[in-house]
């Protein structure tokens, strides 16, 4: 919660976070499915009850407890924070029906003066999850989260699906074409995770709708400098030596993404599928 409060304090317009489910059905906010990196405990969140998870403190200072989605929504319901919205990254470690039904219940039970469907954007990593989001959250906006433009392309044909893409996948000619296609389809485009000033400027120049960063203060400073120099008047400039390295790194990452896409294509299509119950024999009906 300290990170969320700190981001809002420096002027962030929105928060991005990831959701998982405890063993007893509490929706918690964690990037990792495991407690190892942040809490030093070699257990999965899904194997622990909230009564235990609520006692944990992070290894790093300032020590923080594991927050629930309800904690974040309660914070955002405070007067003066009505304009702050949330992008929920729906992780794929839990049963999708269990996770999404519990998330829907949590959101429905959280009081707010501004409807949550105007403040929450649901992000899913494949088509199955996005279809379930539409089912459990009618009237809520959704976004495809991913790093592969080959898979993302299918959502250009599906109405009202926005995009939350790895920023480096959009560098170069293929990315330029895809950004143009997103604009023509009138969808929102968000990019992650942008911590370098050069990529922040790139994102502003591309007029993306949102930038996910670990350093909102720096990004807002870059935005202010950009405005001060004349909005829309700044043209592309020859990249610095560091900028050239960033572009080369981006192209190397794109090559690896193509390999991973080919290897994971079947998994991308299968993750999040509902569990199929065996059909009853006709004579038993």
Give one DSSP letter per residue of 49-80, joined into a string: -HHHHTT---SSSSP-PPPBHHHHHHHHTSTT
Tell whether 280 is covered by a domain: no
Tell whether 276 is covered by a domain: no
> pTM value?
0.89
Q: What is the pLDDT of residues 109-127, one digit of tens each?
A: 999 999 999 999 999 999 9
Q: Are residues 97 and 183 in the same domain?
A: no
Closest CA to 68 of 83, 57, 53, 58: 53
Q: Are residues 155 and 214 in the same domain?
A: yes
| Residue 227 to residues 83, 220, 223, Cα–Cα distance (Å) | 22, 10, 6
Q: Are residues 130 and 200 in the same domain?
A: no
Q: Total structural domains in the chain? A: 2
Tell whether 127 is covered by a domain: yes
Q: Are residues 115 and 13 in the same domain?
A: yes
pLDDT band at 265 (very low <50, low <70, confident <90, very high): confident
Tell whether 285 is covered by a domain: no
3-state DSSP helix/strand/coil % of the chain, to nearest 5: 45, 15, 40
Q: With 50 as the cut, is the pLDDT of residue 267 above it?
A: yes
Separation CA 66–CA 20 (nearest Å) = 11
Pick the last residue of a domain from 115, 140, 165.
Answer: 140
Q: With 70 as the cut, is the pLDDT of residue 98 above it?
A: yes
Q: Are residues 136 and 154 in the same domain?
A: no
Q: With residue 268 as reference, give the H or E element that holds it.
A: helix 241-270
Position of tokens 């006709």? 282
Q: Report yes or no: 28 and 70 within 8 Å, Cβ to Cβ.
A: no
- The helix/strand/coil state of 249 is helix
State the pairing for strand pair 27-29/14-21: antiparallel
Separation CA 165–CA 248 (nearest Å) = 19
Q: Strand order of the sheet with strand 85-90?
A: 27-29, 14-21, 85-90, 120-124, 142-146, 161-166, 189-192, 210-211
How far is CA 235 from its chain centroid? 30
Q: Are residues 208 and 263 in the same domain?
A: yes
Tokens representing 161 are 């699906």
Pick the last residue of a domain from 140, 165, 180.
Answer: 140
Tell whether 30 is covered by a domain: yes
Lowest mean pLDDT among 77-86, 260-269, 272-281: 272-281
Tell whether 282 is covered by a domain: no
pLDDT for 166 equals 95
Q: Are residues 196 and 83 in the same domain?
A: no
Q: Are residues 19 and 107 in the same domain?
A: yes
Q: With 90 as the cut, is the pLDDT of residue 242 above it?
A: no
Q: Are residues 17 and 131 in the same domain?
A: yes
Q: Are residues 103 and 88 in the same domain?
A: yes
Q: Is 190 exposed, middle or buried (0-12, 13-18, 19+ CB in 10 A)?
A: buried
55-88 as b/e: b if 16+ CB within 10 A: ebeeeeeeeeebbbbbbbbebbbeeeeeebbbbb
pLDDT for 234 equals 54
Tell whether 103 is covered by a domain: yes
Q: What is the pLDDT of residues 1-21, one digit of tens each?
A: 999 999 999 999 999 999 999
Q: Are residues 79 and 184 in the same domain?
A: no
| Residue 86 to residues 185, 265, 275, Cα–Cα distance (Å) | 23, 29, 29
Average pLDDT for 159-163: 96
Tokens representing 162 are 């926005």
DSSP state of 116: G
CATH code at 112? 3.20.20.190
Position of tokens 């023509």? 184
Average pLDDT for 43-50: 98
Pick the last residue of a domain from 140, 169, 188.
Answer: 140
Q: Are residues 7 and 132 in the same domain?
A: yes
pLDDT for 247 equals 83
Which residues make beta-bridge pairs with 144? 124, 163
Residue span of the structural domain in which 21 resides: 1-140
Tell whether 254 is covered by a domain: yes
């Amino acid at each position: 919660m300290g990170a969320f409060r700190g981001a809002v304090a420096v002027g962030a317009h929105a928060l991005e976070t990831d959701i998982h489910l405890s063993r007893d059905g509490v929706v918690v906010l964690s990037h990792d499915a495991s407690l190892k990196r942040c809490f030093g405990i070699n257990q999965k969140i899904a194997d622990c009850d909230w009564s235990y998870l609520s006692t944990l403190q992070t290894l790093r200072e300032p020590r923080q407890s594991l927050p629930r989605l309800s904690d974040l929504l309660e914070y955002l319901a405070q007067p003066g924070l009505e304009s702050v919205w949330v992008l929920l990254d729906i992780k794929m470690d839990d049963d999708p029906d269990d996770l999404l039904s519990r998330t829907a219940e949590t959101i429905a039970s959280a009081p707010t003066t501004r409807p949550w469907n105007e403040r929450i954007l649901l992000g899913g990593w494949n088509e199955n999850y996005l279809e379930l989001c539409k089912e459990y959250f009618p009237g809520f906006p959704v976004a495809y989260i991913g790093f592969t433009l080959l898979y993302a392309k299918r959502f250009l044909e599906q109405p009202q699906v926005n995009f939350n893409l790895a920023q480096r996948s959009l560098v170069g000619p293929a990315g330029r074409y895809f950004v143009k296609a997103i604009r023509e389809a009138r969808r929102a485009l968000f990019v992650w995770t942008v911590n370098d000033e050069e990529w922040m400027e790139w994102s502003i120049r591309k007029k993306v709708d949102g930038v996910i960063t670990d350093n909102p203060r720096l990004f807002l400073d870059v935005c202010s400098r950009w405005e001060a120099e004349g909005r829309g008047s700044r043209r592309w400039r020859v990249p610095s030596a560091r900028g050239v390295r960033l572009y080369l790194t981006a192209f190397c990452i794109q090559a690896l993404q193509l390999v991973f896409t080919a290897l994971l294509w079947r998994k991308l299509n299968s993750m999040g599928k509902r569990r199929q119950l065996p059909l009853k024999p006709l004579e038993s009906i």
